[in-house]
Amino acid sequence: MALTPATAQQLQKLGHECLVEADAGLSAGFSDEAYRAAGVTVVDGADELFARADVVAKVAPPTADEVERLSSGKTIISFFYPAQNKDLLELAQGKGANVVAMDMVPRISRAQKMDALSSMANIAGYRAVIEAGNNFGRFFTGQVTAAGKVPPAKVLVIGAGVAGLAAIGVATSLGAQTYAFDVRPEVAEQIESMGAEFVYLDFDGGQQDGAATGGYAAPSSPEFREKQLAKFRELAPQIDIVITTALIPGRAAPKLWLADMVAAMKPGSVIVDLAAERGGNCDLTVVGQRVFSDNGVVVIGYTDFPSRMAAQASTLYATNICHMLTDLTPGKDGKLVHNMEDDVIRGATVAFEGGITYPPPPPKIA
């Protein structure tokens, strides 16, 4: 949900009148009564909503039908992925509608409060460990019991961006012995501060080759990749749970946990591939599904982790939207002002007043 009763109250203080489609919040735990109690008008369906609203906020990119219902001066705020949705963007441009793409919010400090990608990655990382635990037939924490000693589960997290760090946090707090690998050496400190062990590679006398640009990873050199795969092969027989999150902007996910590594794992081990939607980090991943390898390893390729925690995802996303609308309503008078001199608004606005404003120039402020 892009609106919760709590954010509706905030938005009303900005001079906005809020509307919500009947029953839209049910799966996230927000009833129509709760919205009404927060001053929200509950309308019967999307037709009425699109007809009455000047600003439509939603989670998924709009359908072509929804864009058709927009008109000049109206604004839609949602995930939009303009690079993958050029036709939709042109349709919105043709309608004269303004499009604010939450996935295009620049990843600079000032914009963290509206960084919906990070909100969703955080949930995905958390939920990945929960899904792993649900499929793993043993404890995470080590125990000494009257019936014998139980060793802690060994968890390896590959990729320590937002999702990976969230996964490390949950796995360590459940008592697992957690290891993490990333190509960016600067994350070692963050990994270690969360109680996991950074997996160093001895490469050319140094460590990780990093190859980072603006906090993101670049593809690894073939030599580095070979070293990395050799390290994973060495770890595979001892690791109980692998959570992969490795992504490189604009590319398919790198294949890092190969079939032979799955084959070397113990039966009952679990792999959760958070990169499934972009092709997966694991050879055996099937997008959207849970599959079993011949040797009894569970491989999870779900792509809907935030929806599996709909209440939490809605709370965070609606808050991100509320912050975006706060910046878009500087006069607190219910009137949207797309200040295209503002790096954050400029970056996220991909269609404006009949023009396409994507891609944006690089942000000036870090």
Tell me whether residue 5 or residue 306 sits nearer to ligand NAD (CB atom).
306
Residues 223-282 within binding reach of ligand NAD (CB under 6 A) = 245-249, 254, 256
Burial class, 89, CB count within 10 angstroms (exposed 0-12 / middle 13-18 / buried 19+): buried
Q: For helices 310-328 and 116-135, what crossing angle results, to 10°?
A: 170
Element (H, E) at 188: helix 188-193
The residue range among 59-67, 140-148, 182-190, 352-360 that interacts with ligand NAD, by the rule CB under 6 A, is 182-190
Euclidean distance between CA atoms 246 and 160, whole angstroms: 8
Least distance from C-beta 361 to ligand NAD, angstroms? 18
Q: Does 220 bind ligand NAD (CB under 6 A)?
A: yes
Token pair, residue 139, equals 């404890």
Token pair, residue 227, equals 């070293």
Contact 132, 93 (CB under 8 A): no
Tell me whether residue 175 or residue 210 sits nearer to ligand NAD (CB atom).
210
Q: Does 161 bind ligand NAD (CB under 6 A)?
A: yes
Tell me whether residue 204 or residue 294 sits nearer to ligand NAD (CB atom).
204
Tell me whether residue 112 or residue 207 sits nearer to ligand NAD (CB atom).
112
End-to-end Cα spacing for the chain: 30
Residue type, 135: N
**By C-alpha distance, which of 28, 157, 13 is closest to 3?**
28
Tell me whether residue 70 or residue 194 sits nearer to ligand NAD (CB atom).
194
Member of 58, 95, 127, 184 binding ligand NAD (CB under 6 A)? 184
Buried b / exposed e over 228-243, threshold 16 CB at 10 Å, is: bbebbeebbeebbbbb
Least distance from C-beta 25 to ligand NAD, angstroms? 27
Q: Does 183 bind ligand NAD (CB under 6 A)?
A: yes
Token pair, residue 299, equals 């491989």
Least distance from C-beta 129 to ligand NAD, angstroms? 16
Backbone angles phi, psi at 41, to 5 degrees: -85, 125
Residues 291-310 within binding reach of ligand NAD (CB under 6 A) = none
Least distance from C-beta 112 to ligand NAD, angstroms? 4
Contact string (CB under 6 A) for ligand NAD, positions 100-139, x = contact: -------xxx-xx--x--x--x------------------
Q: Does 18 bind ligand NAD (CB under 6 A)?
A: no
**By C-alpha distance, which of 77, 109, 97, 63 is closest to 1?**
77
Member of 216, 231, 268, 356 binding ligand NAD (CB under 6 A)? 216
Q: Does 181 bind ligand NAD (CB under 6 A)?
A: yes
Q: Does 215 bind ligand NAD (CB under 6 A)?
A: yes
Member of 66, 103, 131, 182 binding ligand NAD (CB under 6 A)? 182
Q: Is the dihedral of CA 102, 107, 108, 112 positive or negative?
A: positive
Contact 301, 286 (CB under 8 A): yes
Euclidean distance between CA atoms 157 and 180, whole angstroms: 5
Member of 217, 239, 271, 316 binding ligand NAD (CB under 6 A)? 217
Catalytic residues: 107, 112, 115, 118, 216
Residues that bind ligand NAD (CB under 6 A): 107-109, 111-112, 115, 118, 121, 158-164, 181-184, 215-217, 220, 245-249, 254, 256
